[in-house]
């Protein structure tokens, strides 16, 4: 089965493409608009792989997507393409509405028209897998049970509202047109190739450059952390064995406060890359003003996925974080390239 992966040069998309091609000789068509967070360097190890086809373009370009679906006889679409950073959505939400909502709508329509014309067997096997977020369930109190698939949607940020809207469109295209969709709502991912606007890679970058490690408010907000390769293995399982029309939550059962995350990171860095002055990276932690509408806690109940598809996360938070730190220490050039240009503007806007 040839798959079309959208947002394939972004963080989770590129990890997924690399893992997929590591295990399969079937073709992958990678589509990415290459905006600030998309980086062809993430896929550079595939430059000699004849099963990989990269196309620069938008999920909203119906002509292009229709052409790709037909040309490569695509059997499944995995939609990672999205604007994903909450703080950016607070500064300016337009791109989030355009990509996450209108883009998903256009992709669904391109898929529907292609799928309608497929022969019976191909039509039956086709899948549209939409990758979404646990943020659509809104903020939990510390004593609430983790979010499960039947919980109501209560998104609070422009980002999570745009993802919630896209999930609703995907659901409606199944209910109305019977397009064979699957939706995946995942916890906070971390790992190789993550753009350093998110908490973990930003903290690694700043720690190594002797800059403050900015923690919003008191750092007591809780997130559920999932190593990106575990997310990719879950998506693969859901794509192959998931029930069409269903939603699956993916989480690592690793709830941590933001302060705990950054302190653990500092301890790993102290061990792997001790500072020359003998001090700990923890000294660089700086409490800064809070994010507007900052959600207190996200937590994911992944028991449906574990029960029905026998999936388990392989990494603990400590093993996953250690792998992540090692990857960044080993990829200084990658980091140097992504932090040039637009990134500097963003840091000025957000943290000055
Ligand atoms: O929960 C899944 C979501 O996780 C994804 O859907 C989003 O695309 C992804 O960006 C992520 O959202 P978060 O807002 O939770 O991730 P972020 O890394 O931006 O922030 C994690 C926590 O750390 C959050 O409580 C805000 C806090 N934070 C973040 C940054 C960037 C800080 O304290 N300081 C910072 O500088």
Tell me whether residue 135 is one of the annotated catalytic residues: yes
Measured CA to CA, the distance from residue 205 to residue 183 in angstroms comes to 33
Distance 200 CA to ligand 1 centre (A): 9
Minimum-distance ligand 1 atom for the alpha carbon of 133: 6
For the segment 191-196, the average pLDDT, to the nearest whole number, is 98
Closest CA to 222 of 189, 268, 254, 190: 254
Beta bridge partners of 183: 130, 247
Q: Are 200 and 164 in contact (CB under 8 A)?
A: no
CATH no., domain 2-188+227-251+294-314: 3.40.50.720
Q: Which residue in the block uniquely carries the two structure tokens 């028209």? A: 113
For ligand 1, what atom is nearest to the CA of residue 85? 10
Say what percent of the chain tops pLDDT 70: 100
Instruction: Kindly name the residue from 105, 114, 137, 159 that is annotated as catalytic.
Output: 159
Ramachandran angles phi, psi of 283, nearest 5°: -60, -20
CA 86 to ligand 1 centroid distance, Å: 7
- Can you give the pLDDT at residue 192? 98
> Where do we find the tokens 């200084």?
332
Parse the chain into domains and list their residue ranges: 2-188+227-251+294-314
Name which of 238, 245, 255, 207 is nearest 308 in CA terms: 238
Q: Among 32, 135, 197, 315, which one carries the catalytic annotation?
A: 135
Predicted pLDDT at 112: 98
**How big is the chain, counted in residues?**
352
Task: Give the pLDDT band of residue 110 (cuts 50, 70, 90).
Answer: very high
Note the pLDDT of residue 258.
98
Cβ atoms of 43 and 144 within 8 Å: the answer is no
Q: For residue 238, which of 175, 134, 174, 308 has the smallest C-alpha distance?
A: 308
**pLDDT (tens digit per residue) in 240-273:** 999 999 999 999 999 999 999 999 999 999 999 9
Euclidean distance between CA atoms 61 and 65, whole angstroms:
6
121 touches 73 (CB < 8 A): no
Query: Who lines ligand 1 at CB under 6 A?
Result: 84-86, 133-135, 187-188, 198-199, 202, 214-216, 221, 223, 258, 291, 298
159 belongs to the catalytic site: yes
User: Ligand 1: which atom is nearest the Cα of residue 224?
Assistant: 1
Nearest CA to ligand 1 atom 30: 199
């Amino acid at each position: 089965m040839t798959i079309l992966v959208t947002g394939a040069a972004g963080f989770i998309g590129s990890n997924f493409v690399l893992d997929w091609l590591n295990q399969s000789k079937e073709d992958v068509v990678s589509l990415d608009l290459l905006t600030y967070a998309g980086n062809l360097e993430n896929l550079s190890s595939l430059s000699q792989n004849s099963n990989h086809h990269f196309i620069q373009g938008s999920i909203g370009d119906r002509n292009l997507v229709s052409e790709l679906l037909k040309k490569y006889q695509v059997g499944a679409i995995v939609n990672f393409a999205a604007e994903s950073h909450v703080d950016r959505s607070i500064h300016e939400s337009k791109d989030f509405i355009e990509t996450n909502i209108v883009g998903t709508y256009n992709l669904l329509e391109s898929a529907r028209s292609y799928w309608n014309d497929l022969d019976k067997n191909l039509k039956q096997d086709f899948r549209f897998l939409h990758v979404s977020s646990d943020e659509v369930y809104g903020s939990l109190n510390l004593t609430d049970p983790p979010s499960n698939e039947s919980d109501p949607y209560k998104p609070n940020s422009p980002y999570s509202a745009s993802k919630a809207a896209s999930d609703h469109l995907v659901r409606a295209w199944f209910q109305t047109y019977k397009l064979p969709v699957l939706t995946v709502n995942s916890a906070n991912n971390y790992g190789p190739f993550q753009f350093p606007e998110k908490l973990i890679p930003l903290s690694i970058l700043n720690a190594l450059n002797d800059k403050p490690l900015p923690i919003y408010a008191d750092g007591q907000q809780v997130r559920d952390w999932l190593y990106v390769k575990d997310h990719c293995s879950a998506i693969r399982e859901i794509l192959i064995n998931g029930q069409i029309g269903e939603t699956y939550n993916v989480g690592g059962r690793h709830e941590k406060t933001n302060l705990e995350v950054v302190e653990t990171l500092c301890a790993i860095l102290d061990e792997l890359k001790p500072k020359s002055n003998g001090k700990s990276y923890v000294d660089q932690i700086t409490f800064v003003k809070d994010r507007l509408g900052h959600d207190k806690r996200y937590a994911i109940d992944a028991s449906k996925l574990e029960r029905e598809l026998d999936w388990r996360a392989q990494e603990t938070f400590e093993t996953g974080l250690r792998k992540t730190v090692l990857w960044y220490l080993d990829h200084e050039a990658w980091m140097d390239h992504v932090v040039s240009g637009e990134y500097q503007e963003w840091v000025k806007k957000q943290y000055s």
